[in-house]
Structure 1
Amino acid sequence: MFSMGKTWRWKNSPAQPGKAYHPTTVEHLANCISHVPCVPLGVAGMIKLCSKADTYSKSVAAIVYGLAIVSLFFASSVFHLFSLFYINGRLRSTLQLCDRIVICLFIAASYTPWLLLRDFHASWGLTTLWSVWIAAIFGGAFQYVYLDRFKSVELMIYLAISICPAYSFIYMHERSGLPLLFTGAFVYLSGVIFFKLDGHIPLAHAIWHCCVFIATFLQFNAVDTFLITN
Protein backbone atom coordinates (compact mmCIF):
# COMPACT_ATOMS: atom_id res chain seq x y z
CA MET A 1 0.00 0.00 0.00
CA PHE A 2 1.07 3.57 -0.52
CA SER A 3 2.48 5.44 2.43
CA MET A 4 0.46 8.35 3.80
CA GLY A 5 3.57 9.96 5.28
CA LYS A 6 4.19 11.97 2.13
CA THR A 7 0.54 12.61 1.32
CA TRP A 8 0.74 16.40 1.38
CA ARG A 9 3.97 16.84 -0.52
CA TRP A 10 2.93 18.32 -3.85
CA LYS A 11 6.07 17.69 -5.91
CA ASN A 12 9.53 16.17 -5.76
CA SER A 13 12.76 17.40 -7.30
CA PRO A 14 12.92 17.24 -11.11
CA ALA A 15 14.30 14.05 -12.62
CA GLN A 16 17.98 13.78 -13.41
CA PRO A 17 18.95 13.45 -17.11
CA GLY A 18 18.14 9.97 -18.38
CA LYS A 19 16.07 9.14 -15.29
CA ALA A 20 12.33 9.00 -14.65
CA TYR A 21 10.61 11.52 -12.38
CA HIS A 22 9.32 10.11 -9.07
CA PRO A 23 5.92 11.67 -8.22
CA THR A 24 4.68 12.27 -4.69
CA THR A 25 1.67 10.40 -3.32
CA VAL A 26 -0.53 13.42 -4.05
CA GLU A 27 0.69 13.48 -7.64
CA HIS A 28 0.09 9.73 -7.98
CA LEU A 29 -3.48 10.20 -6.75
CA ALA A 30 -4.06 13.12 -9.11
CA ASN A 31 -2.66 11.12 -12.02
CA CYS A 32 -5.12 8.31 -11.31
CA ILE A 33 -8.13 10.54 -10.69
CA SER A 34 -7.51 12.46 -13.92
CA HIS A 35 -7.50 9.39 -16.19
CA VAL A 36 -9.22 6.38 -14.60
CA PRO A 37 -12.76 7.81 -15.14
CA CYS A 38 -11.88 8.36 -18.81
CA VAL A 39 -11.73 4.61 -19.48
CA PRO A 40 -15.51 3.98 -19.31
CA LEU A 41 -16.10 7.26 -21.14
CA GLY A 42 -13.81 6.01 -23.90
CA VAL A 43 -15.70 2.72 -24.11
CA ALA A 44 -19.00 4.61 -24.36
CA GLY A 45 -17.55 6.82 -27.07
CA MET A 46 -16.33 3.85 -29.08
CA ILE A 47 -19.75 2.19 -28.87
CA LYS A 48 -21.35 5.45 -30.00
CA LEU A 49 -19.09 5.74 -33.05
CA CYS A 50 -19.51 2.09 -34.03
CA SER A 51 -23.30 2.28 -33.71
CA LYS A 52 -23.41 5.27 -36.07
CA ALA A 53 -21.03 3.87 -38.69
CA ASP A 54 -23.08 2.91 -41.75
CA THR A 55 -20.30 1.96 -44.18
CA TYR A 56 -17.34 -0.40 -44.02
CA SER A 57 -14.82 2.47 -44.07
CA LYS A 58 -16.63 4.28 -41.27
CA SER A 59 -16.72 1.08 -39.22
CA VAL A 60 -12.97 0.62 -39.64
CA ALA A 61 -12.32 4.24 -38.69
CA ALA A 62 -14.64 4.00 -35.67
CA ILE A 63 -13.04 0.80 -34.40
CA VAL A 64 -9.45 1.98 -34.87
CA TYR A 65 -10.07 5.39 -33.33
CA GLY A 66 -12.32 4.08 -30.57
CA LEU A 67 -9.91 1.33 -29.56
CA ALA A 68 -7.07 3.85 -29.50
CA ILE A 69 -8.97 6.13 -27.12
CA VAL A 70 -9.80 3.25 -24.78
CA SER A 71 -6.24 1.91 -24.96
CA LEU A 72 -4.74 5.33 -24.26
CA PHE A 73 -6.70 5.91 -21.06
CA PHE A 74 -6.55 2.25 -19.97
CA ALA A 75 -2.77 1.98 -20.34
CA SER A 76 -2.28 5.28 -18.53
CA SER A 77 -4.69 4.33 -15.74
CA VAL A 78 -3.16 0.91 -15.10
CA PHE A 79 0.37 2.32 -15.02
CA HIS A 80 -0.56 5.12 -12.62
CA LEU A 81 -2.58 2.80 -10.37
CA PHE A 82 0.41 0.48 -10.08
CA SER A 83 2.63 3.49 -9.40
CA LEU A 84 0.25 4.74 -6.70
CA PHE A 85 0.58 1.51 -4.76
CA TYR A 86 4.37 1.45 -5.19
CA ILE A 87 4.42 -1.75 -7.20
CA ASN A 88 7.93 -1.53 -8.65
CA GLY A 89 10.10 -3.80 -10.71
CA ARG A 90 9.80 -5.20 -14.19
CA LEU A 91 5.98 -5.17 -14.34
CA ARG A 92 5.78 -1.46 -13.56
CA SER A 93 8.48 -0.71 -16.14
CA THR A 94 6.57 -2.76 -18.69
CA LEU A 95 3.38 -0.84 -17.95
CA GLN A 96 5.22 2.46 -18.37
CA LEU A 97 6.59 1.26 -21.70
CA CYS A 98 3.10 0.23 -22.84
CA ASP A 99 1.79 3.66 -21.84
CA ARG A 100 4.42 5.42 -23.96
CA ILE A 101 3.98 3.12 -26.96
CA VAL A 102 0.21 3.54 -26.90
CA ILE A 103 0.65 7.32 -27.11
CA CYS A 104 2.44 6.90 -30.46
CA LEU A 105 -0.24 4.57 -31.77
CA PHE A 106 -3.00 6.85 -30.50
CA ILE A 107 -1.62 9.77 -32.49
CA ALA A 108 -1.73 7.69 -35.68
CA ALA A 109 -5.22 6.45 -34.85
CA SER A 110 -6.41 10.04 -34.35
CA TYR A 111 -5.44 10.83 -37.94
CA THR A 112 -6.95 7.63 -39.33
CA PRO A 113 -10.63 8.71 -39.63
CA TRP A 114 -9.66 11.90 -41.45
CA LEU A 115 -7.20 10.26 -43.81
CA LEU A 116 -9.47 7.30 -44.49
CA LEU A 117 -12.86 8.97 -44.87
CA ARG A 118 -12.02 12.27 -46.57
CA ASP A 119 -11.11 12.71 -50.23
CA PHE A 120 -7.67 14.12 -51.04
CA HIS A 121 -5.91 15.35 -54.15
CA ALA A 122 -4.02 12.48 -55.78
CA SER A 123 -3.11 9.87 -53.17
CA TRP A 124 -2.22 12.20 -50.29
CA GLY A 125 -4.71 10.63 -47.91
CA LEU A 126 -3.61 7.00 -48.13
CA THR A 127 0.08 7.89 -48.45
CA THR A 128 -0.08 9.97 -45.28
CA LEU A 129 -2.09 7.26 -43.53
CA TRP A 130 0.63 4.68 -44.19
CA SER A 131 3.34 7.18 -43.28
CA VAL A 132 1.86 8.17 -39.92
CA TRP A 133 1.41 4.54 -38.88
CA ILE A 134 4.98 3.69 -39.88
CA ALA A 135 6.19 6.71 -37.91
CA ALA A 136 4.11 5.62 -34.90
CA ILE A 137 5.62 2.13 -35.02
CA PHE A 138 9.09 3.68 -35.21
CA GLY A 139 8.24 5.87 -32.22
CA GLY A 140 7.08 2.85 -30.27
CA ALA A 141 10.27 0.97 -31.15
CA PHE A 142 12.34 3.94 -29.97
CA GLN A 143 10.50 3.86 -26.65
CA TYR A 144 11.14 0.13 -26.35
CA VAL A 145 14.88 0.60 -26.77
CA TYR A 146 15.51 3.97 -25.12
CA LEU A 147 12.70 4.53 -22.59
CA ASP A 148 13.44 7.72 -20.58
CA ARG A 149 17.07 7.82 -21.76
CA PHE A 150 16.77 10.51 -24.45
CA LYS A 151 13.79 12.58 -23.38
CA SER A 152 14.33 15.41 -25.84
CA VAL A 153 14.44 12.98 -28.76
CA GLU A 154 11.35 11.24 -27.38
CA LEU A 155 9.49 14.55 -27.30
CA MET A 156 10.58 15.46 -30.84
CA ILE A 157 9.30 12.10 -32.11
CA TYR A 158 5.92 12.68 -30.47
CA LEU A 159 5.71 16.17 -31.96
CA ALA A 160 6.79 14.99 -35.42
CA ILE A 161 4.15 12.26 -35.49
CA SER A 162 1.57 14.77 -34.25
CA ILE A 163 2.31 17.72 -36.51
CA CYS A 164 3.86 16.57 -39.80
CA PRO A 165 0.87 14.57 -41.14
CA ALA A 166 -1.32 17.68 -40.84
CA TYR A 167 0.44 19.03 -43.94
CA SER A 168 -1.65 16.64 -46.04
CA PHE A 169 -4.82 18.49 -45.01
CA ILE A 170 -3.85 21.18 -47.51
CA TYR A 171 -4.88 18.66 -50.15
CA MET A 172 -8.15 17.67 -48.47
CA HIS A 173 -11.17 18.51 -50.63
CA GLU A 174 -13.76 19.03 -47.89
CA ARG A 175 -12.49 20.75 -44.74
CA SER A 176 -15.51 20.87 -42.46
CA GLY A 177 -14.61 19.91 -38.92
CA LEU A 178 -10.97 20.94 -39.16
CA PRO A 179 -11.32 23.97 -36.85
CA LEU A 180 -12.56 21.67 -34.05
CA LEU A 181 -9.85 19.13 -34.86
CA PHE A 182 -7.13 21.79 -34.73
CA THR A 183 -8.53 23.24 -31.51
CA GLY A 184 -8.06 19.82 -29.94
CA ALA A 185 -4.56 19.64 -31.39
CA PHE A 186 -3.75 23.03 -29.85
CA VAL A 187 -4.87 21.75 -26.43
CA TYR A 188 -2.71 18.64 -26.83
CA LEU A 189 0.34 20.71 -27.74
CA SER A 190 -0.31 23.16 -24.90
CA GLY A 191 -0.43 20.21 -22.53
CA VAL A 192 3.02 19.11 -23.63
CA ILE A 193 4.38 22.09 -21.70
CA PHE A 194 3.09 20.54 -18.48
CA PHE A 195 4.25 17.08 -19.59
CA LYS A 196 7.80 18.44 -19.39
CA LEU A 197 7.37 20.29 -16.08
CA ASP A 198 7.31 17.37 -13.62
CA GLY A 199 9.12 18.52 -10.49
CA HIS A 200 8.96 22.16 -11.52
CA ILE A 201 5.28 22.80 -10.75
CA PRO A 202 2.91 20.72 -8.59
CA LEU A 203 0.65 18.18 -10.31
CA ALA A 204 2.17 18.92 -13.72
CA HIS A 205 1.44 15.44 -15.05
CA ALA A 206 -2.18 15.53 -13.87
CA ILE A 207 -2.62 18.86 -15.66
CA TRP A 208 -1.21 17.16 -18.77
CA HIS A 209 -3.79 14.41 -18.28
CA CYS A 210 -6.58 17.00 -18.15
CA CYS A 211 -5.33 18.55 -21.38
CA VAL A 212 -5.34 15.11 -23.00
CA PHE A 213 -8.94 14.51 -21.92
CA ILE A 214 -10.16 17.91 -23.15
CA ALA A 215 -8.33 17.56 -26.47
CA THR A 216 -9.60 14.01 -26.97
CA PHE A 217 -13.15 15.16 -26.22
CA LEU A 218 -12.89 17.94 -28.82
CA GLN A 219 -11.40 15.71 -31.51
CA PHE A 220 -13.85 12.90 -30.75
CA ASN A 221 -16.73 15.29 -31.35
CA ALA A 222 -15.15 16.40 -34.62
CA VAL A 223 -14.91 12.78 -35.80
CA ASP A 224 -18.41 11.97 -34.58
CA THR A 225 -20.09 15.05 -36.08
CA PHE A 226 -18.23 15.57 -39.34
CA LEU A 227 -17.02 12.10 -40.36
CA ILE A 228 -19.10 9.30 -38.84
CA THR A 229 -22.52 10.99 -38.65
CA ASN A 230 -22.16 12.65 -42.07
Structure 2
Amino acid sequence: MVVQPIKKRLSCCDFTRLKNPKAGKGQAYIPTDYEHIANIVTHGFKTLKYIFHIGDRAVIYLFIASSYTPWLTLREFNGIGDEVLSIVWTMAVVGILYQYIFHEKYKILELLLYLIIGVCPAIVVCLQRQAAGMFELALGGATYILGVVFFKMDGRMPFAHAIWHCFVAGGALWHYYAICTHLLGHDQDELAMHL
Protein backbone atom coordinates (compact mmCIF):
# COMPACT_ATOMS: atom_id res chain seq x y z
CA MET A 1 0.00 0.00 0.00
CA VAL A 2 1.37 3.37 -1.03
CA VAL A 3 0.92 6.17 1.50
CA GLN A 4 0.41 9.63 -0.01
CA PRO A 5 2.19 12.50 1.60
CA ILE A 6 0.07 14.51 4.03
CA LYS A 7 0.28 17.62 1.82
CA LYS A 8 -1.28 15.80 -1.10
CA ARG A 9 -4.18 14.43 0.99
CA LEU A 10 -5.03 17.86 2.41
CA SER A 11 -5.11 19.53 -1.00
CA CYS A 12 -8.73 18.45 -1.46
CA CYS A 13 -9.54 20.60 1.58
CA ASP A 14 -7.57 23.60 0.38
CA PHE A 15 -9.23 26.71 1.83
CA THR A 16 -6.88 29.24 0.28
CA ARG A 17 -9.43 30.15 -2.39
CA LEU A 18 -11.93 30.95 0.38
CA LYS A 19 -9.59 33.29 2.26
CA ASN A 20 -8.83 36.86 1.32
CA PRO A 21 -5.24 37.91 0.87
CA LYS A 22 -3.79 39.63 3.89
CA ALA A 23 -4.31 43.38 3.68
CA GLY A 24 -1.14 45.34 3.28
CA LYS A 25 -0.19 48.20 5.54
CA GLY A 26 -2.63 51.06 4.99
CA GLN A 27 -4.80 49.00 2.64
CA ALA A 28 -8.44 47.98 3.05
CA TYR A 29 -9.59 44.44 3.64
CA ILE A 30 -10.75 42.91 0.35
CA PRO A 31 -12.97 39.89 0.88
CA THR A 32 -13.19 37.00 -1.56
CA ASP A 33 -16.55 36.39 -3.22
CA TYR A 34 -17.29 33.67 -0.66
CA GLU A 35 -16.36 35.93 2.24
CA HIS A 36 -18.47 38.71 0.76
CA ILE A 37 -21.52 36.43 0.70
CA ALA A 38 -20.82 35.34 4.29
CA ASN A 39 -20.47 38.99 5.34
CA ILE A 40 -23.80 39.88 3.71
CA VAL A 41 -25.55 37.01 5.49
CA THR A 42 -24.10 37.79 8.90
CA HIS A 43 -24.71 41.53 8.55
CA GLY A 44 -28.27 40.69 7.52
CA PHE A 45 -28.74 38.81 10.81
CA LYS A 46 -27.38 41.80 12.76
CA THR A 47 -29.86 44.00 10.91
CA LEU A 48 -32.67 41.53 11.71
CA LYS A 49 -31.77 41.66 15.38
CA TYR A 50 -32.08 45.47 15.29
CA ILE A 51 -35.43 45.30 13.46
CA PHE A 52 -36.74 42.71 15.94
CA HIS A 53 -35.58 44.89 18.85
CA ILE A 54 -37.48 47.88 17.47
CA GLY A 55 -40.49 45.67 16.69
CA ASP A 56 -40.39 44.36 20.25
CA ARG A 57 -40.86 47.89 21.56
CA ALA A 58 -43.43 48.84 18.90
CA VAL A 59 -45.69 45.87 19.55
CA ILE A 60 -46.29 47.06 23.12
CA TYR A 61 -48.32 49.97 21.73
CA LEU A 62 -50.46 47.49 19.79
CA PHE A 63 -50.95 45.40 22.96
CA ILE A 64 -52.19 48.37 24.93
CA ALA A 65 -54.40 49.88 22.20
CA SER A 66 -55.88 46.47 21.40
CA SER A 67 -56.76 45.81 25.01
CA TYR A 68 -58.79 49.04 25.27
CA THR A 69 -60.50 48.77 21.87
CA PRO A 70 -63.27 46.31 22.91
CA TRP A 71 -64.24 48.52 25.85
CA LEU A 72 -64.38 51.62 23.71
CA THR A 73 -66.43 49.94 20.98
CA LEU A 74 -68.80 47.69 22.98
CA ARG A 75 -69.72 50.04 25.83
CA GLU A 76 -71.52 53.38 25.77
CA PHE A 77 -69.51 56.51 26.65
CA ASN A 78 -72.01 59.29 25.93
CA GLY A 79 -70.75 59.69 22.38
CA ILE A 80 -67.03 60.05 23.14
CA GLY A 81 -66.03 56.40 22.75
CA ASP A 82 -65.18 56.79 19.06
CA GLU A 83 -63.09 59.90 19.70
CA VAL A 84 -61.14 58.21 22.50
CA LEU A 85 -60.66 55.14 20.31
CA SER A 86 -59.22 57.39 17.57
CA ILE A 87 -56.86 58.99 20.09
CA VAL A 88 -55.73 55.59 21.41
CA TRP A 89 -54.91 54.26 17.96
CA THR A 90 -53.30 57.54 16.89
CA MET A 91 -51.06 57.34 19.97
CA ALA A 92 -50.25 53.72 19.11
CA VAL A 93 -49.22 54.73 15.58
CA VAL A 94 -47.17 57.66 16.96
CA GLY A 95 -45.46 55.26 19.39
CA ILE A 96 -44.65 52.79 16.63
CA LEU A 97 -43.32 55.56 14.36
CA TYR A 98 -41.24 56.88 17.25
CA GLN A 99 -39.66 53.44 17.65
CA TYR A 100 -38.78 53.17 13.97
CA ILE A 101 -37.57 56.77 13.56
CA PHE A 102 -36.09 57.80 16.92
CA HIS A 103 -35.47 54.44 18.64
CA GLU A 104 -33.66 55.00 21.95
CA LYS A 105 -32.99 58.68 21.14
CA TYR A 106 -35.53 60.42 23.40
CA LYS A 107 -36.01 58.10 26.38
CA ILE A 108 -38.35 60.44 28.28
CA LEU A 109 -40.63 60.75 25.23
CA GLU A 110 -40.77 56.98 24.94
CA LEU A 111 -41.73 56.70 28.60
CA LEU A 112 -44.40 59.40 28.26
CA LEU A 113 -45.91 57.70 25.22
CA TYR A 114 -46.21 54.41 27.12
CA LEU A 115 -47.81 56.11 30.10
CA ILE A 116 -50.21 58.26 28.06
CA ILE A 117 -51.50 55.37 25.99
CA GLY A 118 -51.79 53.20 29.11
CA VAL A 119 -53.46 55.69 31.46
CA CYS A 120 -55.65 58.06 29.42
CA PRO A 121 -58.05 55.47 27.99
CA ALA A 122 -58.36 53.91 31.45
CA ILE A 123 -59.68 57.20 32.83
CA VAL A 124 -62.41 57.35 30.18
CA VAL A 125 -63.29 53.67 30.50
CA CYS A 126 -63.69 54.08 34.26
CA LEU A 127 -66.34 56.77 33.63
CA GLN A 128 -68.75 54.29 32.07
CA ARG A 129 -72.01 53.49 33.83
CA GLN A 130 -71.46 49.73 34.10
CA ALA A 131 -68.90 48.68 36.68
CA ALA A 132 -68.55 45.08 35.49
CA GLY A 133 -64.97 44.36 34.47
CA MET A 134 -63.52 47.58 35.88
CA PHE A 135 -61.52 45.74 38.56
CA GLU A 136 -59.81 43.51 36.00
CA LEU A 137 -59.30 46.43 33.65
CA ALA A 138 -57.69 48.45 36.45
CA LEU A 139 -55.45 45.49 37.35
CA GLY A 140 -54.33 45.23 33.74
CA GLY A 141 -53.58 48.96 33.56
CA ALA A 142 -51.72 48.85 36.88
CA THR A 143 -49.71 45.88 35.62
CA TYR A 144 -48.74 47.80 32.47
CA ILE A 145 -47.68 50.81 34.56
CA LEU A 146 -45.72 48.73 37.10
CA GLY A 147 -43.91 47.12 34.19
CA VAL A 148 -42.56 50.53 33.18
CA VAL A 149 -40.47 50.49 36.37
CA PHE A 150 -38.62 47.42 35.07
CA PHE A 151 -38.45 48.88 31.57
CA LYS A 152 -36.46 51.78 33.04
CA MET A 153 -34.21 49.37 35.02
CA ASP A 154 -32.56 47.99 31.86
CA GLY A 155 -28.82 47.82 32.47
CA ARG A 156 -29.21 48.31 36.22
CA MET A 157 -31.04 45.12 37.14
CA PRO A 158 -30.54 41.61 35.73
CA PHE A 159 -33.41 40.38 33.55
CA ALA A 160 -35.20 43.76 33.81
CA HIS A 161 -36.26 43.66 30.16
CA ALA A 162 -37.60 40.11 30.45
CA ILE A 163 -39.49 41.07 33.62
CA TRP A 164 -40.97 44.05 31.75
CA HIS A 165 -42.18 41.64 29.06
CA CYS A 166 -43.87 39.56 31.75
CA PHE A 167 -45.67 42.65 33.07
CA VAL A 168 -46.85 43.61 29.58
CA ALA A 169 -48.10 40.08 28.95
CA GLY A 170 -49.74 40.08 32.39
CA GLY A 171 -51.54 43.37 31.70
CA ALA A 172 -52.77 42.05 28.36
CA LEU A 173 -53.96 38.82 30.02
CA TRP A 174 -55.94 40.76 32.66
CA HIS A 175 -57.57 42.81 29.90
CA TYR A 176 -58.27 39.69 27.84
CA TYR A 177 -59.88 38.01 30.85
CA ALA A 178 -62.02 41.11 31.50
CA ILE A 179 -63.12 41.22 27.87
CA CYS A 180 -64.03 37.53 27.80
CA THR A 181 -65.92 37.55 31.09
CA HIS A 182 -67.54 40.99 31.12
CA LEU A 183 -67.95 42.07 27.52
CA LEU A 184 -68.29 38.94 25.42
CA GLY A 185 -69.73 36.68 28.10
CA HIS A 186 -72.20 39.36 29.27
CA ASP A 187 -73.58 39.88 25.77
CA GLN A 188 -73.98 36.14 25.22
CA ASP A 189 -75.92 35.78 28.50
CA GLU A 190 -78.24 38.64 27.56
CA LEU A 191 -78.78 37.13 24.12
CA ALA A 192 -79.62 33.73 25.66
CA MET A 193 -82.17 35.38 28.03
CA HIS A 194 -83.98 37.03 25.10
CA LEU A 195 -84.24 33.79 23.12
Q: TM-score, normalised by structure 1?
A: 0.58
Corresponding residue number in structure 1 for 2:124:
168
In structure 1, list runs of 5 or more residues that go unmatched.
Answer: 1-86
> CA shift at 1:167, angstroms?
2.5
Deviations 1:133-159 (A, max 9, x none): 111111111111100111111111111
> CA shift at 1:214, angstroms?
2.4
Tell me, yes or no, if the aligned pair for 2:153 and 2:160 is still in contact at 8 Å.
yes
**Alignment CA distance shift 1:102-1:138 (3 Å):** same
In structure 2, list runs of 5 or more residues that go unmatched.
Answer: 1-43, 187-195
Deviations 1:151-195 (A, max 9, x none): 111111111111112232254221210111101211221111111
The CA RMSD over aligned residues, in Å, is 1.8
Matched, 1:120 2:77: yes
> CA shift at 1:209, angstroms?
2.1
Greater than 4 Å deviation, 4+ residue runs: none
The sequence identity of aligned pairs, in percent, is: 41
Whose relative contact order is higher, 1 or 2, with alpha carbons under 8 Å and at least 6 apart?
1
1:161, 1:131 → 2: CA distance?
A: 9
1:214, 1:99 → 2: CA distance?
A: 16
1:185, 1:170 → 2: CA distance?
A: 11
Number of equivalent positions: 144
Give 1 or 2 for the bigger CA radius of gyration: 2
Q: Paired residue for 2:56, among 96, 99, 107? A: 99
Q: Paired residue for 1:90, among 36, 39, 47? A: 47
1:199, 1:156 → 2: CA distance?
A: 20
**Alignment CA distance shift 1:211-1:180 (3 Å):** same
Tell me, yes or no, if the aligned pair for 2:147 and 2:164 is still in contact at 8 Å.
yes
Tell me, yes or no, if the aligned pair for 1:124 and 1:171 is still in contact at 8 Å.
no
Q: Paired residue for 1:229, among 182, 185, 195? A: 185
Matched, 1:143 2:99: yes
Q: TM-score, normalised by structure 2?
A: 0.68
Corresponding residue number in structure 2 for 1:154:
110
1:207, 1:120 → 2: CA distance?
A: 34
**Alignment CA distance shift 1:177-1:138 (3 Å):** same
Deviations 1:47-85 (A, max 9, x none): xxxxxxxxxxxxxxxxxxxxxxxxxxxxxxxxxxxxxxx
